[in-house]
Structure 1
Amino acid sequence: MEIVTSADGTPIATHTVGDGPTVVIVNGALSTARDAGGIAQAFADAGLRAVTYDRRARGDSGDASPAAPEREVEDLAAVIAASGSDAAVIGHSSGAVLALYAAGEGVPISRLFLSEPPFRFGEGDPSSDLAGQLQALVDEGRPSDAVVLFQREGVGLPDAFIEQFRASPAFEQVARLARSTVYDTLVTQRVSTPTAAMLGVRMPVTILRGSETMPLLVAAASRLAAAMPDAEFVEVLESISHRMDPEATARIVAARLT
């Protein structure tokens, strides 16, 4: 593990595996760099240098108040700068939203891979005060309730699934990431509809979508591809249930970088 210092002084924990062209992996909601370990290793096996990092308020990384999408953009910029020039980025879920947002803000990225970004294009957005509600629950010492609220209102998961997950041993680990739900909510609300700067990024863009995933994500990938006519769209048959298949994704990324 190495520590990169973000623009506001917050420490961001990074992990690197493999040799070859550099790819920075940006995880989605309620996950850490450790959760991307399998994907990073698959990238390394495919001849790439994979860099994972704990997004702000997760794992071994720090945090600062108030939460803001700009801080996460600065974090990604710091990770890329520390990883060397000419780094590609692959973002998954809210991590894909963050990656494209950062690219639109001018963060230097050589090539961009966007895996199932949950752009809503202004339709069915969560309540505008969801981030505030989540922060209040965290401040009250109710991280589990914050995670449940985020899953229900922010992601749109059914109550039966949420309750089943809440009863599982994994929920305790996820509840530790409750503060990070504020960041995910802020960034996805900020750019529910991608800005002109995001749609006009100059680096090559590949949009990835699994063969079996949530209807919201199917629609988002199609609408984003239509809005970015120069982007490449790839359906990853092996990726199901909003999870990137490590080996299949590594083959796709490596074929475009090596």
Structure 2
Amino acid sequence: MDKNIASRDGTSLAYESAGRGATIVLVSGAMSTGGTVAPLAARLSERFRVVVYDRRGRGASGDAAPYAVEREVEDLAALIEAVGGEAALYGVSSGGALALRAAAGGLPVRHVAVYETPYAMSSDALEERARYTEQLTAALAEGRRGDAVELFLRLTGLGEEVIRGARQSPLWAGMESIAPSLAYDDAVMGDGSVPRELLASIRVPVLSIAGDASPAWMRGAARAIAESVPRGTYRALGGQTHMVEPDVLAPVLAEFFAR
């Protein structure tokens, strides 16, 4: 990240941009930095000006207590102002929930696209999310960052053997370093249910995407988003999972953002 701006509360946000044309800001999800969406940015920058940034509490960006979802919306507002005063947003996973909140909050946003924002689609899933929130809060309060990462990986559906292997990975230290930001993504997701009233207030076009190789509930959540916004469209990408391939996703986003 080669540039910095200050958010409303003074938090330093690191970002970079590439390409020319209409501006698109990419919003990463949990356990991610702006670098996570860099491959997608490289493909979109052939047609647009693409901005990636490290959300607060991760990467090269700063942080400030106490956390509130409103601070992250203010971060996006400051970033959009710095790059021209208007932008489209793309958010992946819980980053999609943040992008949708920003659009509902009246930020100068032209379009919003989201990929597999993981809203719960059953009462059992909502109960699981509530348990996760309780256990995550306790783990972070007690400084058990590794346990917090484990909780998140378990929530995503990874098996215990895979999680044990992850702990031995050279990437584990980096995951622990941004573990406190898991609480931020959890807050952005609210209680985990589809926020239909908030979505109904969004007036710009919204494209909600899922991979057709992802679990049925993930596709259902993406479809529910599209159905809850006044100008929503649902799209399923053939053969894709939550780890969507940039070469498959980029043309779909480019078509939508060019409208």
Q: TM-score, normalised by structure 1?
A: 0.90
Aligned counterpart, 1:116? 116
- Contact in 1 for aligned 2:25/2:50 (Cα 8 Å): yes
Q: Secondary structure at the match of 2:166?
A: helix
State the partner residue of 2:69: 69
2:55 equivalent in structure 1: 55
Shift in Å, 1:67? 2.0
Cα distance, 1:156 vs. partner? 4.2
In the alignment, what sits opposite 2:140? 138
CA distance in 1, matches of 2:154, 2:131: 14
Q: Which amino acid aligns with 2:251?
A: R
Which stretch shifts more, 25-34 or 116-125?
A: 116-125
> Which residue pairs with 1:150 in the alignment?
152
Distance (whole Å) between structure 2 residues aligned to residue 80 and residue 15 of structure 1: 12
1:192–1:34 distance in 2 versus 1, CA, 3 Å:
same
Question: Are 2:163 and 1:162 equivalent residues in the alignment?
Answer: yes
Between 1:54-63 and 1:228-237, the stretch displaced more is: 228-237
- What residue number does 1:220 align with? 221
Q: CA deviation at 1:225?
A: 2.5
Q: State whether structure 2 residue 120 is matched by structure 1 residue 107.
A: no
Kindly indicate whether structure 1 or structure 2 has the higher relative contact order, using CA contacts under 8 Å at least 6 residues apart: 1
Q: Give the drift of 1:91.
A: 0.4
- Residues of 2 paired with 1:85 and 1:65: CA distance? 27
Quick check: 1:179 aligned with 2:183?
no
Q: Which amino acid aligns with 2:246?
A: P
**Partner Cα distance (2:222, 2:256) in 1:** 20
Equivalent residues of 2:93, 2:116 under 8 A apart = yes
SS in 2 for 1:111: strand
- Range with greater deviation from structure 2 (81-90 or 50-59): 81-90
In the TM superposition, residue 127 of structure 1 has moved relative to its aligned partner by: 5.0
How many angstroms apart in 1 are the aligned matches of 2:122 and 2:103?
A: 21
Count residues in correspondence: 255
Report deviation, 1:246.
Answer: 1.4
> TM-score under structure 2 normalisation?
0.89
CA contact under 8 A between 2:20 and 2:49: conserved in structure 1? yes
Say whether the 8 Å CA contact 1:122–1:193 is kept in structure 2: no
8 Å CA contact retained: 2:204, 2:231? no
2-structure distance, mates of 1:245, 1:218: 17
Counterpart contact for 1:67–1:182, Cα < 8 Å? no
Query: In the aligned structure 2, how far is the partner of 1:135 from the partner of 1:11?
Result: 25
Cα distance in 1 between the residues matched to 2:69 and 2:75? 10
Cα pair distance change 1:209/1:91, threshold 3 Å: same
Q: Which amino acid aligns with 2:215?
A: M
Structure 2 portions without partners, runs of 5+: none
TM-fit CA distance, 1:135: 4.4
1:184-223 to 2 correspondence within 5 Å?
184-190=185-191, 192-223=193-224
Unaligned runs of 5+ in 1: none
1:212 match: secondary structure: coil
Per the alignment, in what secondary structure is the counterpart of residue 148 of structure 2? helix
The corresponding residue for 2:7 is 6
Distance 1:14 1:237, change over 3 A: same
Query: Is the Cα contact below 8 Å between 1:16 and 1:50 reproduced in 2?
Result: yes
Counterpart code for 2:78: A
How many Å apart are 1:98 and its aligned residue? 0.9
Q: Distance in 2 between matches of 1:49 and 1:250?
A: 14
Q: Which residues of 2 match residues 245-256 of structure 1 at below 5 A? A: 245-256=245-256
Cα deviation 1:174-198 (Å, max 9, x = unaligned): 1211011010111112563214232
Q: Give the Cα separation in 2 of the matches to 1:68 and 1:216.
A: 28
- Give the distance between the partners of 2:142 and 2:118, measured in 1 at CA: 29
Q: Deviations over 1:12-67 (max 9, x none)?
A: 1111111111110000110101111111101112x111101111110011111222
| SS at structure 1 position matched to 2:5 | strand
